[in-house]
Structure 1
Amino acid sequence: MMSFRNTLLWIGLISLFYACKKEVNPGLYKPKFVVEGWIEEGDFPYVILTHNLPFFTAVDSAQLAEVIIRYAKVTVSNGTETEVLTATTDKRYFPYFLYRGTSLRGKVGGKYSLKVEYAGNTLTAETEIPNPVSIDSLWFVEKPKNKRQLNVQIMDAPNEVNYYRLYSKLEKETVFTPTLMANHDDLFFNGKMLEMQVNRGAANNLTSKHDPYYEAGDTVLVKLSAVPASGYVFWKSLQDELMNGSNPLAGSAKALATNINGPGVGVWCGYSSKIYRMIAR
Structure 2
Amino acid sequence: MAACSKDIALDQVDYESKIVVDGWIENGQTANVFLTMSSPFLTDYDSASIRNTFLNYAKVTITNGKGVSEVLTLTRRKEFFPPFVYKTINMKGEVGETYFLEVIYQNRVVESVTTIPSLPEVDGVKAVAASDSSMVIMATMNDHALEANYYYSQIFTYHFDTRFHPSDKPLKNDRLYNGEVHTFQIKRSDQPDPLGIHNINSERALKPDEFAMTDTVLVKISQIDAAAYQVLNGMYVDHLGQNSPFTFVDQQTHTNIKGGIGRWTGLASQQFLVYN
Structure 1 and Structure 2 fold alike (TM over 0.5) = yes
Distance 2:231 2:184 in 1: 22
Distance 2:221 2:235 in 1: 19
Residue of structure 1 aligned with 2:264, choices 262, 265, 268: 268
What amino acid sits opposite 1:88 in the alignment? T
Q: 2:139 is matched with which residue? A: 152
1:197 paired with 2:193, answer: no
3-state SS of 2:33 partner: strand
Identity of aligned residues (%): 30
Q: 1:239 is matched with which residue? A: 236
Judge conservation of contact 2:152–2:221 (CA < 8 Å) in 1.
yes
What does the per-residue CA deviation read over 1:204-242, in whole Å, with 9 as the maximum and x for residues that have no partner? 163699643211121111110111111111110011011
Residue of structure 1 aligned with 2:29, choices 26, 37, 43: 43
Could you state the TM-score of these two structures normalised by the residue count of structure 2?
Answer: 0.86
Change (3 A) 1:157 1:122: same
| Unaligned stretches of 5+ residues in structure 2 | 1-9, 202-207
Q: 1:248 is matched with which residue? A: 245
| Unaligned stretches of 5+ residues in structure 1 | 1-23
1:125 paired with 2:122, answer: no
3-state SS of 1:276 partner: strand
Shift of 1:243: 1.1
Distance 2:17 2:145 in 1: 44
What does the per-residue CA deviation read over 1:37-94, in whole Å, with 9 as the maximum and x for residues that have no partner? 1111112111100011112211112111210001000000014211111112111223
Could you state the TM-score of these two structures normalised by the residue count of structure 1?
Answer: 0.85
What does the per-residue CA deviation read over 1:104-139, in whole Å, with 9 as the maximum and x for residues that have no partner? 121111111000000100000001111011322223
Q: Which runs of 4+ in 1 moved over 6 A?
A: none
RMSD: 2.0
What does the per-residue CA deviation read over 1:170-214, in whole Å, with 9 as the maximum and x for residues that have no partner? 234442111111011112211012222232122116369964321
Distance 2:192 2:129 in 1: 26
3-state SS of 2:111 partner: strand
Higher helix share: 1
Change (3 A) 1:209 1:188: farther
Residue of structure 2 aligned with 1:64, choices 50, 63, 75: 50
1:180 paired with 2:168, answer: yes
Change (3 A) 1:145 1:248: farther
- Specify the structure having the higher radius of gyration (Cα): 2
Distance 2:107 2:88 in 1: 23
